[in-house]
Structures are given as C-alpha cells and as structure tokens.
Amino acid sequence: MLSPLTLVNGLACAHGSVLDRGFAYGDGLFETLAVDQRSPLRLDRHLARLREGARRLRIPLDDQLEAVISDELRSLCEAFEAPQAVAKIILTRGEGGRGYRPPTGVQPGRIVRLSERPVFPRSHEETGIELFLCETRLGINPALAGIKHLNRLEQVLARSEWEDEYPEGLVRDIEGRIVEGTMSNLFLLKNGELLTPRLHRCGVAGTVRALIIESAQKHGIAVRETDLWLKDLEEADAMAVTNSLIGYWPVNAFQGRRYTIAPWQRLLAPWLKEGVKQC
C-alpha cells in the first residue's frame, strides 16, 4: 500500500480545519483524475468543470488560484512513489462561522491529494460487467445538476446496497428516470443511436462522458442526450458505463437480460486515448 500525498492550502498535511464549510456543509466541489506516467489525464477538462461548478456555487476561483491548484497537483505527481495514481482536487468556500449563509471575504480552501490507483479486473473492459439496480433515488435539483459538488450522501446510500458482487450500480431519480451509475455515466445503443441520460435535473456530467459525446459526433455517430427509463434499457442493444478512472466498461447483463459488446464500444478506447492527447 502506497502512502497518499496531501496538500491542504499548500501545506503538506492530511487534515483541514473543522471550520471549513466543506467539512461543515459540503459547501464545495471535487474532481477525481487518473494519473498516468506522473501526468494528470484530461486535466484541462477537469479544471473546466471545476471552474463551472465554482461559478454556479459562487465560490471565487480565479486564474491565479486555478494555476496554483494545477502546479500543486503536478508537483505531487512528480513526488508520488508510483507513476500511476488517483488525484483528487477539493475546492471549498473556505472557513466560516456557524450558519448556512455564505460569509463574505472568505478565502477558498483547497485540498490536492494523490493516492494509489485501484486495479480493476481486465475482464470488466474486455467482457463487460453486470449492473445492479439501486433502490436509492436521486433528488431533483437543477441548481446542482451536472456539477460535482461535495454532497454525495445519495451515492453513499446507493453504494451501500450491495457488497462486491457487482462492479457498479445504476441510479434513478425520484420520478424513475435513469440518471447514472453511483460512480459513472451511462451510454446505451438503441436502434443504431447512441443515447445517454440528460443531466439537467440531477447527476454528474462526467469529463469522459463529454469526451465520448464529442468523439461520437466527430466520427459521424448519432448521439442524443434524452430522458431514459427502465424500458429503454430493456430494449437497448448494448450499454456501457464510463468515468475518468475506469475509462469505460461494457455492460453484459442487467436485470436478467444479456447484452452484446457492440462494435461502437470498441471505438471508445481509441477515443479516450485521443482525448488524452488533446489535453
């Protein structure tokens, strides 16, 4: 087990202030990145999402602070014991007193952390995974939809529904729409069209999700963001889940139905590699 490396507001330590609003209220954002050969993958995309989340939560994130975060991340990548790792960036509103009202004139807090990268079975990518259907539902809140805020209790509850017999679980909103996996986004192939859930009510708009949508359009493959229901999954020809650490995993089974590994899923690996080169 490799020891994690952590910088809290630029200082080498593993704990922050109990007064930080990220700790007290989940008042902040985070990004999780894969690190390969001591280089954070798709950093530009992650910083762009962090910037958009900060804008929507009204947490000040200027070019200078963004550059500091990027420099700290790269320095930890160089210092880490292994060339492959998982990086986590946390941005909070900063320290504040009691009460929900955001204080004025507060300096944002930041945590940059590197830890050992998990090793997933190669079979997940090569022959696919079976998805679990979670009973926990996601609340609908357009003000927070798409961004990766620190309030993740819904995902914690959903992931607590099974042990390790399934690699991932699928989550619906309170009205029954398919939203995402507990840690991933969903794509399905139906009638020759690539579909993915709309995320304007809830859910996280993943960086790999965006890359796949862009790549599909670039290669002339029809792709559509739309409301999806369990019936759509039953009628799908193929499915896959994606995130920044796993890349993509085809789905071979869900709710008693078997799925094929569609040809378009074999395109995902080169698309992801090309996405790394672009950043």
- CATH code of the domain covering residue 11: 3.30.470.10
Would you state the pLDDT for residue 152?
A: 95
Marked catalytic residue, from 95, 148, 196, 242? 148
Q: Indicate the residue among 63, 90, 115 that finishes a domain.
A: 115
Would you state the pLDDT for residue 14?
A: 74
Q: Is the backbone of residue 26 left (phi > 0), alpha (psi -120 to 50) or beta? A: left
Q: Indicate the residue among 57, 87, 115 that finishes a domain.
A: 115
- What DSSP designation does 107 have? P
- Does one domain contain both 185 and 207? yes
Would you state the pLDDT for residue 218?
A: 87
- Does one domain contain both 68 and 160? no
Q: Indicate the residue among 65, 80, 115 that finishes a domain.
A: 115
- Residue 224 sits in a domain whose CATH number is 3.20.10.10
- Does one domain contain both 72 and 186? no
Could you confirm whether 180 is annotated as catalytic?
Answer: yes
Spatial neighbors of 167 by CB under 8 A, at least 6 apart, are 120, 124, 129, 130, 249
Would you state the pLDDT for residue 106?
A: 84
Would you state the pLDDT for residue 276?
A: 56
List 89's β-bridge partners, or say none. Answer: 31, 112
For the chain, the domain total comes to: 2
Task: Output the CA–CA distances (angstroms, integers) from residue 242 to 63, 101, 168, 181, in the order listed.
Answer: 29, 36, 11, 9
Would you state the pLDDT for residue 275?
A: 58
- Does one domain contain both 255 and 130? yes
- Does one domain contain both 62 and 79? yes
Q: Which domain holds residue 241?
A: 122-278
| pLDDT string in tens for the chain (279-residue length) | 778 899 999 988 877 788 889 999 999 999 999 999 999 999 999 999 999 999 999 999 999 999 999 999 999 999 999 999 999 999 999 998 888 998 888 899 999 999 999 999 999 988 999 999 999 999 999 999 999 999 999 999 999 999 999 999 999 999 999 999 999 999 999 888 899 999 999 999 999 999 999 988 888 888 999 999 999 999 999 999 999 999 999 999 999 999 988 777 777 777 777 655 544
Nearest to 91 by CA among 72, 105, 112: 112
Marked catalytic residue, from 6, 154, 180, 196? 180
- Does one domain contain both 81 and 47? yes
Nearest to 151 by CA among 24, 14, 9, 8: 24
d(CA 137, CA 168): 15
Could you confirm whether 116 is annotated as catalytic?
Answer: no
Alpha carbon 7 to its chain centroid, in Å, reads: 21
- Does one domain contain both 77 and 192? no
Nearest to 223 by CA among 251, 252, 189: 189
Amino acid sitting at position 254: F
**Pairing status of strand 39-40 against strand 28-36:** antiparallel
Query: What is the radius of gyration, based on Cα positions, of the chain?
Result: 19
Could you confirm whether 32 is annotated as catalytic?
Answer: yes
